[in-house]
Chain A
Amino acid sequence: MARASIPTKAAPRRRSFNSDRLWSLVVLLPSAVLLAIFVYGFILRSGYLSLTDWGNDPAQALSLTPVIKFTGLSNYSNLFGGLLDSRFRQDLVSTLFFTAFFIVACLGLGLGLAMLLDRNPKGEGLWRTIFLFPMSLSFIVTGTIWRWMLQPAGGVNALFGLDPDRHAWLTSNASIWRFDWNKLPLITAVVVALVLLGVASRARQSGNRTQMWVAIACAALLVLWAFTLGNSVKMTPVPEYHGFNLAFIGIIIAAVWQMSGYTMALYLAGLRGIPDELREAARVDGANEWGIYRHVIFPLLAPITLSAMIILGHISLKIFDLVYAMTSLNNLNTEVPALLMYITAFQGNQFAKGAAIGMVLLILVAAVIVPYLASQFRRSDRS
Chain B
Amino acid sequence: MTTTATTPRPEVTAPRRPDLSRILVYLALLVAALFFLVPVYLLIVTALKTPDAIGLDTTWRLPSVWNWASFSEAWSKVSGGLRNSIILAISATALSALLGSLNGYALSKWKFRGADLLFALMLFGMFIPYQAVLIPLFQFIKSIGLYGSIGGLILAHVVYGLPITTLIFRNYYSEVPDALVEAALIDGAGFWGIYRRVIFPLSVPGFVVVVIWQFTQVWNEFLFGVTLANPSSQPITAALAQLSGGQAVSWNLPMAGAILTAIPTLLVYIVLGRYFVRGLLAGSVKG
Inter-chain contacts of A39 with B (CB < 8 A):
124-125, 128, 133
Name the CB-closest residue of B to A113: B32
A302-339: which residues lie under 8 A (CB-CB) from chain B?
307-308, 311, 314, 317-318, 320-321, 324-325, 328, 337-338
A342 touches B223 (CB 8 A): yes
Which stretch of A200-208, A226-234, A293-301, A351-359 is in the interface?
A351-359
CA distance A32 to B102 in the complex (A): 12
Inter-chain contacts of A132 with B (CB < 8 A):
269, 273, 277
A332-383: which residues lie under 8 A (CB-CB) from chain B?
337-338, 341-342, 345-346, 351, 354-355, 357-359, 361-362, 365-366, 369-370, 372-374, 376-377, 379-381
B262 touches A30 (CB 8 A): no
CB of A31 within 8 A of chain B?
A: yes
**Interface size counted on chain B using CB atoms at 8 A:** 107
Q: Contacting A314 at CB < 8 Å: which of B127, B162, B276?
A: B127
Which stretch of A71-79, A133-141, A236-244 is in the interface?
A133-141
A376 touches B287 (CB 8 A): yes
Check A12/B182 contact, CB under 8 A, given A42-B137, A140-B240: yes
A325 touches B244 (CB 8 A): yes
Which stretch of B5-13, B64-72, B146-154, B201-209 is in the interface?
B5-13
CB of B166 within 8 A of chain A?
A: yes
CA distance A112 to B31 in the complex (A): 12
B185 touches A345 (CB 8 A): no
CB of A166 within 8 A of chain B?
A: no
A8-29: which residues lie under 8 A (CB-CB) from chain B?
8-9, 12, 15-16, 19-21, 23-25, 27-28
CA distance A237 to B30 in the complex (A): 54
Render B121-138 as a binary contact track against A, CB cut-off 8 A, 1 for contact: 111110111111111111
Inter-chain contacts of B118 with A (CB < 8 A):
28, 32
What is the predominant secondary structure among interface residues of chain A facing chain B? helix
B82–chain A nearest beta-carbon distance, Å: 13
A307 touches B269 (CB 8 A): no
Render A139-169 as a binary contact track against B, CB cut-off 8 A, 1 for contact: 1110011111101111101110000100000
Q: Contacting B265 at CB < 8 Å: which of A119, A137, A152, A354?
A: A137
What is the predominant secondary structure among interface residues of chain B facing chain A? helix
Name the CB-closest residue of B to A308: B284
Inter-chain contacts of A220 with B (CB < 8 A):
none
A380 touches B166 (CB 8 A): no
Q: Contacting A137 at CB < 8 Å: which of B120, B262, B270?
A: B262
CB of B232 within 8 A of chain A?
A: no
Inter-chain contacts of A374 with B (CB < 8 A):
120
CA distance A122 to B42 in the complex (A): 27
Which stretch of A83-91, A123-131, A171-179 is in the interface?
A123-131
Q: Contacting A20 at CB < 8 Å: which of B103, B190, B283?
A: B190
Render B50-94 as a binary contact track against A, CB cut-off 8 A, 1 for contact: 000011110110000000000000000000000000000000000
Name 24 A/B residue pairs within 8 A (Cβ), A-sorted.
A12-B185, A35-B125, A38-B160, A42-B133, A45-B136, A46-B132, A137-B262, A137-B265, A138-B220, A138-B262, A138-B265, A139-B222, A141-B261, A145-B255, A154-B59, A155-B42, A272-B5, A314-B127, A320-B131, A325-B244, A342-B227, A369-B127, A373-B285, A379-B287
Apart from A120-B9, A136-B265, list 19 A-B contacts with CB within 8 A: A24-B105, A24-B110, A24-B112, A31-B166, A38-B125, A39-B128, A112-B28, A119-B10, A120-B6, A121-B25, A145-B39, A157-B56, A158-B60, A311-B283, A354-B131, A358-B132, A358-B135, A361-B131, A362-B128
